[in-house]
Chain A
Amino acid sequence: MITVVDLTKHFFVGPKRIVAVDRLSFRVRAGEVYGLMGPNGAGKTTTLWMVLGVLKPTSGYAEVGGYRSTEVPEAVKARLGLLSASAGVYPWLTPRETLFYFADLYKVPPETAKGAVEHISRKLGISGYLDQRCATLSTGQKQRVNLARALIHDPDIMLLDEPTRGLDVIGSKVIFDYVRDLRELGKAVIVCTHRLDEAQRLCDRFGLLHRGRLWHEGTLGELQQRTGRASLTEMFLQFVEEDPDGRAAVK
């Protein structure tokens, strides 16, 4: 469903070139939750933006449902839902207005949008404050509104970038429960997080990123067998100690 091939992104800060993502390749199938793991600055968000077609790769490509994100970004965007920790809400709009606005952006017919708003609101428990200005909502409530916003067009694939940052236990649980539901519905999900414990419970397969390069890829069992470490946290600490500059290739 998602194919990433040799995806590379360079940024220029003045004359200096920074390699944010370096020849990254992976695949995510339908009904699979893929964890893109790594410390801050590993290149997770940049990868997601390139998959989405918002950021142009320096080389390589990402394909979503057969469409290349550089060639037909709008077709790719229409198939994707994005939930990011840094995403905000419109303070002067209500959640209902926000959801209808995004339904329009995603070209969801008004009648379908009406049903979708009711369904998602019930599912995520936001019906109680659907007509309240977003400025008055708590952090957890805002994140639920954002999740609803990302799902309003019923996307085939969800990209979750640090979806539980700043959320309490209950807020995190709502997000995780929904991710499991998405898997059961046959959707492909990419979760980017540096909270490795969370990911360990949620993801089917993992890609471990460091300094823009993919270190290891596989299921938890495969990674445990390969590294001899029990948890993702231990694996990461070992990799960083062994290869602080991130020169290692994918294994």
Chain B
Amino acid sequence: MNALNITKGTSSKSAYNLRSGHADLNERHTLAVLVANEPGVLARVIGLFSGRGYNIESLTVAEVDHQGHTSRITIVTSGTPQIIEQIKAQLGRIIPVYDVHDLTVEGPSVERELSLFKVSGKGEKRVEALRLADVFRANVVDSTLDSFTFEVVGSPEKIDAFAELVRPLGLSEMARTGVAALSRG
């Protein structure tokens, strides 16, 4: 009987290779986290993501119930299905977290983001920027003789598309709020 049964170098996988390339493909998930609106709660959430090496693609936070001292944090993250489940479980054990919803899997949801674009230019480019703004139902929230500031509200993809189109027209600055999301119905 070979009691030791040692086979050498059978695998390059290590005990710690929890997030190796062999794992399933990354998925993008939008999480709604309802928390007690108390000092440090955002730091706890962000610290969890940085401490355990999870991704944050966007994050928004604001109080949604003043009486109940409740804030809503909307996080867009990505990872393998196993990591996404870990993120939800880890968020759930933060004491001031009341509830965690994975809007990506809990039925249909709507996602909206607000963005501001400053486009500087003159002549035909300026006119083209205005036409595009019309197509995207963007509002002009500020204008000078050589620039417009547009407000675009919509899905992150719509905002990406608008950014691509106005970039050659003189996009000089942009700001995005990150995604706010609600389940439908």
Decide whether A and B are members of one complex. no
